[in-house]
Structure 1
Amino acid sequence: MRKMIKKAVIPAAGFGTRLLPVTKAKPKEMLTVVDKPIIQYVIEDLSDAGVNNILIITGKGKSAIENHFDKNFELEEKLKNSGKKELLNMVRKIDNLANIYYTRQKEQKGLGDAIYCGKEFVGKEYFLAMVGDTIYSQNVVKKMLEVYDKYKCSVILLERVPKEIVYKYGVISGNEIEKGIFEIDNLVEKPSVEEAPSNLIITGAYLLSPNIFKHLKNTKTGKGGEIQLTDALRSLLKDEKIIGVEVNCKRYDIGDIEGWLKANVEIALEKMPEFRDYLKGIIKDKIM
């Protein structure tokens, strides 16, 4: 049996500039998708997969994240005294999702630097790293753990996208060793369309060897003047195998207003059947 992976790092220190002015005073990770903030979806998937010790990398203006997952005695007493048991249970469930810890990324130096902030928390264990602004229609954490069980190495979640948008992402190349499973041989951060090695992008979900920290420490600034996790992974690849898993579910990248709106509409259609009829009526009126 494998040693259980119980730790995760969630980088959540970015300014969310592509979502301004919504994110001027509110963390993008706390934007709601239907009935709960984005980062809660991420933590629920980790908790459901048995990963219960989570470090959130925060920054200036991110206290709302800590408040959301902290216990609110006054609110709970109010709900209890009002007889609102369903709401009380919902709030208490958030309190008990996981053991959540926080540290700050003191400067905006990129995803690689944010992950490096978790070095002491992680120690010498394999761990999950999940960006705080992307959610999935299935629990991809469980899938990455399954692949790790088989290959005993770092695992990256991938998605096949139209070639013309690969410049926005980290991109991999590799050999497909099983259906949807790739042994990676190269990783490039935000390549031009012409230089991209494939149309398989890195989605922001990782299961990483603790040796990544040694490579992050030695990684120089890359695209955008930031320390790129993709560059550190390319360095790690010289020492260890990295497996990529193609996602077979819907991914919601909530990096801009359009992505946020799409996530709300699509998830609302799944959770609230009555919303479908309302939306049909709106569309009919607009067309007419």
Structure 2
Amino acid sequence: MSIRKAVLPVAGLGTRVLPASKVVPKELLPLVDKPTLQYIVEEAVAAGIDEIIFVTSASKRSIEDHFDIFKELEQALERKGKRKELEELRRIRTMATYASVRQPEALGLGHAVLCAKKLVGDEPFVVMLGDDLVDPATPCLPRMIEIHEQYGGSVLSLFSVPEHEISRFGIVAVEETEPGSTTVKVNHMVEKPAVEEAPSDLAVAGRYVLTPDIFEILERTPAGAGGEIQLTDAIEVQAQEGRCYGLKFGGFGGIRYDTGTPLGLLTTSIAYALKRSDIAPALREYMRQALTEG
């Protein structure tokens, strides 16, 4: 079965980027002139996804609005002859089908995914986290979907982290599927372990291909620390049953950006600006001057 749906959990409060995220959802903070979340939706669409499911909260209505029609603005652009801007707005709202569901309480990533159960139905799907961006030139989702089609299980995007960051991530124990392959079998997962308890230095990035039985597992997964239902705990059940694989994304040549902190948001914006032919020359000149004067 082809994968058609992507679940984007966007109900979080974004406390790491306050006060910018007090009124504007962190997912709509811009990278150059485009909201972070739009890059993620475009990544999904490029991988063949045609239905986007937002798991939102009461304070995130503007996310739905961004991907909806804004007649007054479109009419104003048409009157002014701004065809390029008009076409971009229309592209955003038509490049996929959008649906949303509320997460009534902040009960963890696993709970957020579970909220999308009725909209996903009985089919494999993708989960994409809003803090993680993947360079469009080196996408990982198409390869992850291929791995799912080959082995039939869930698939995680994995990357190596330095020792001092291990306790920030879900860490996995893996075995090779074949020598030298970037595809591995995931045997065990631990959520934010201490360094001495970590089974490896391979962390789960914000991309998942999940089989629909994950919902049944989540429904019987008890809440952990902080009263949250962890997606990691449910995937661990699949791993123990031999139904979980991973793509070592770093080895696949991919570039990952973390926009979950002020520094990460700033450096990612600079990286994306440097890819733009209309912005990069002036930005490089500004950076040279700033570094010289500094």
Return the offset for 1:239.
3.2
Return the offset for 1:224.
3.6
Instruction: Identify the match of residue 257 of structure 1 among 262, 269, 273.
Output: 262
Return the offset for 1:139.
2.3
Structure 1 distance, partners of 2:258, 2:163, is: 17
Q: What is the one-letter code of the residue matched to 2:203?
A: I
SS at match of 2:197: coil
SS at match of 1:237: helix
SS at match of 1:148: helix
Structure 1 gap segments, 5+ residues each: none
Bigger mean CA deviation after superposition, 192-201 or 144-153: 144-153
Cα pair 1:189 1:223 within 8 Å, conserved: no
Structure 2 gap segments, 5+ residues each: none
Structure 1 distance, partners of 2:265, 2:100, is: 25
Structure 2 distance, partners of 1:285, 1:250, is: 31
Q: Summarize the Cα distance change of 1:223–1:253 in structure 2 as closer, same or farther, 3 Å threshold.
A: farther
Per the alignment, residue 88 of structure 2 pairs with 90
The alignment's TM-score, normalised by the length of structure 1, stands at: 0.95
Q: Aligned pair count?
A: 284
Q: What is the one-letter code of the residue matched to 1:152?
A: G
Structure 2 distance, partners of 1:14, 1:50, is: 26
Cα pair 2:126 2:208 within 8 Å, conserved: yes
Structure 2 distance, partners of 1:172, 1:223, is: 19
Q: How does 1:129-144 map to 2 (within 5 A)?
A: 129-137=127-135, 138-144=138-144
Per the alignment, residue 158 of structure 2 pairs with 158
Structure 2 distance, partners of 1:94, 1:198, is: 40
Structure 1 distance, partners of 2:133, 2:270, is: 14
1:220 aligns with 2:225: no
Cα pair 1:55 1:118 within 8 Å, conserved: yes
1:13-43 alpha-carbon deviations (Å, 9 max, x no partner): 0001111111111111111111211110111
1:41 aligns with 2:39: yes
Cα pair 1:129 1:207 within 8 Å, conserved: yes
SS at match of 1:221: coil
Instruction: Identify the match of residue 268 of structure 1 among 269, 273, 289.
Output: 273
Cα pair 2:188 2:240 within 8 Å, conserved: no
Return the offset for 1:265.
1.3
Instruction: Identify the match of residue 52 of structure 1 among 46, 50, 53.
Output: 50
Q: What is the one-letter code of the residue matched to 1:284?
A: T
Structure 1 distance, partners of 2:112, 2:280, is: 39
The alignment's TM-score, normalised by the length of structure 2, stands at: 0.94
Cα pair 2:131 2:206 within 8 Å, conserved: no
Return the offset for 1:128.
0.5
Q: How does 1:202-241 map to 2 (within 5 A)?
A: 202-241=204-243
Return the offset for 1:240.
4.4
Q: Summarize the Cα distance change of 1:256–1:224 in structure 2 as closer, same or farther, 3 Å threshold.
A: farther
Bigger mean CA deviation after superposition, 188-197 or 132-141: 132-141
SS at match of 1:243: strand
Return the offset for 1:273.
2.3
Structure 1 distance, partners of 2:221, 2:272, is: 38
Per the alignment, residue 277 of structure 1 pairs with 285
1:22-73 alpha-carbon deviations (Å, 9 max, x no partner): 1111111111111211110111011111111111000021011011000111
Per the alignment, residue 8 of structure 1 pairs with 6
Instruction: Identify the match of residue 98 of structure 2 among 95, 100, 108.
Output: 100
1:249-284 alpha-carbon deviations (Å, 9 max, x no partner): 111111111111111111111223211222122111
Q: What is the one-letter code of the residue matched to 1:235?
A: V
Structure 2 distance, partners of 1:249, 1:280, is: 28
Cα pair 1:38 1:134 within 8 Å, conserved: no
Identity %: 39
CA RMSD of aligned residues (A): 1.2
Per the alignment, residue 176 of structure 1 pairs with 176
1:121 aligns with 2:111: no
